[in-house]
Structure 1
């Protein structure tokens, strides 16, 4: 039986997305989102809350959409998989980090701007965006999104050369490459989301010493 590596998150951005472009035309966008859970302590009756921060990586067109429309405080749905990469820091020490490579993204703030939380759908009825080169844009299996069939191109893989930024258009070597630039450009993007008045703040040291 094959293993499953799948992550689904709904959270709030702690800072604006950051994008790096490469000579081959590819791009990489990163940001962190917070997810919170709350519960009541059975012994004290006190209400408690715990927040986790998750580092998100998006490639090419999907990342460009995030860069254009998401801001600190934006609420977003991310679907993807875990990737671990390694690099050597300034002191010559090998370091590791685990990130979420996003394959689908859904912005959840638009309905609030239109006077509600999305009615019966609870605000989750916005289009989903992906990194696929499907012709025609929308398909029946993805409800208004781009399907990410390019898989591990330009992603993170555990094959020795992790953490390097490469220009390989069709490889799975763990480099940041050109994950396909034939993305459908023909859909109309939604209006930018308005961030909440008091967004969560990502820890200052969340991205310390990490190569982009």
Structure 2
């Protein structure tokens, strides 16, 4: 089976690093992609927002030292995960995120490619 997504888009906020209760670090980046159509000669833009979680330790470490600023152009390769949580009122909520965690997954800056994280040994 294959679960793979590739995105090129712009960050919607500065990248952020969180620490899980078990002490593992995860980076979170919001990425906007867009498409457009022309109807009656007028351009209509459609933006889609993606929550990206980066679990790869070398990429998280890179982001700690060089955070991606809002508006950075990025390339993301990862997998799609569907999550669910129940709020305090008992309502179930569903959302989709892109996870960068396994072999072949990556996050790269397209604005400053010379500064991208190196592959781990």
TM-score, normalisation: structure 2: 0.80
Instruction: Mark the CA change 1:61 to 1:47 in structure 2 (over 3 Å): closer, same or farther.
Output: same
Give the aligned length.
115
Higher strand share: 2
Distance of 2:80 and 2:7 partners within structure 1: 12
What is the aligned partner in structure 2 of residue 55 from structure 1? 51
Q: 1:107 aligns with which of 84, 109, 118?
A: 109
Task: Calculate the aligned-residue CA RMSD, in Å.
Answer: 2.2
Is residue 116 of structure 2 the alignment partner of residue 145 of structure 1? no
Kindly tell me: are residues 78 and 126 of structure 1, through their superposed partners in 2, closer, same or farther at Cα, counting changes over 3 Å? farther
Q: Can you list the C-alpha shifts for 1:65-105, whole angstroms capped at 9, x where unaligned?
A: 23433011111100000011222212122222110002201
C-alpha distance after superposition, 1:96-155 (max 9, x if no partner): 211000220111112xxxxxxxxxxxxxx65754xxxxxxxxxxxxxx523xxxxxxxxx
Quick one: higher RCO (CA 8 Å, sep 6+), 1 or 2?
2
Checking the alignment, whether the CA contact within 8 Å between 1:128 and 1:145 is kept in structure 2 is: no
> Secondary structure at 1:69's aligned position in 2?
coil
Normalised by the length of structure 1, the TM-score is 0.48
How far residue 63 of structure 1 moved from its aligned partner, in angstroms, is 2.6
Q: 5+ unaligned residues in a row in structure 1: which ranges? A: 111-124, 130-143, 147-183, 185-212
Rg comparison, structure with higher value: 1
